[in-house]
Amino acid sequence: MRFTRTRKRIAAAAIAAAAMGAIGIGSATSAQATETVEGSWRFGTGGCEAVENITLWSGGHDWMNIVPTANPGHCLFGVFDRNAWKWLGAAGATPSSDPSPWYYDGPGQSLEACLIDTANNNTWACGPIN
């Protein structure tokens, strides 16, 4: 008798799980799993500070830039491509306190806004990788 109840409970649980999955409760859809996070993140080191911005443009794909917010004269700022392992833009990381251009950060890209404190053994600080 106990074996039969256990089998019925297992069957009922499997049916409930399937029903919940069919209506989207308790399961992540592919759209939820790859959902883009937009926003701004502040980061810095040794007096160098910046904000990484991520926004959606152009058909729902990400774009990223860096905005320096504090530069005591020994900071470099830029957007780093982790797939190609290089700085984006013709000048790479620069001492400019101007915002960088917006860089495409859609599918297959792995970018992060970074700064380098040259007065502190070239210490890096970066926003989140996207």
Average the pLDDT over 36-60 and give the result. 89
Highest mean pLDDT among 6-10, 46-50, 59-63: 46-50
Task: State whether 40 and 86 are in the same domain.
Answer: yes
Task: State whether 69 and 103 are in the same domain.
Answer: yes
Average the pLDDT over 46-65 and give the result. 90
pLDDT of residue 24: 39
pLDDT of residue 107: 86
Could you give the percent of the chain with pLDDT greater than 90?
56
Residue 66 near residue 51, CB atoms below 8 Å: yes
Task: State whether 15 and 29 are in the same domain.
Answer: yes
Cα torsion at 105, 110, 114, 118 (round to 10°)? -130
Task: State whether 25 and 53 are in the same domain.
Answer: no
- HSE-CB of 116 using CA atoms within 13 angstroms: 13
Task: State whether 25 and 82 are in the same domain.
Answer: no
Which residue range is the domain that position 16 belongs to? 1-35
Q: 102-116, pLDDT tens digit by residue?
A: 999 988 899 999 999
Task: State whether 89 and 112 are in the same domain.
Answer: yes
Beta strands in 20-122 (DSSP E): 39-45, 48-57, 61-70, 75-81, 86-87, 103-104, 111-117
Task: State whether 52 and 107 are in the same domain.
Answer: yes
Residue 61 near residue 100, CB atoms below 8 Å: no
Task: State whether 72 and 91 are in the same domain.
Answer: yes
Our count of domains for the chain comes to 2
Task: State whether 54 and 113 are in the same domain.
Answer: yes
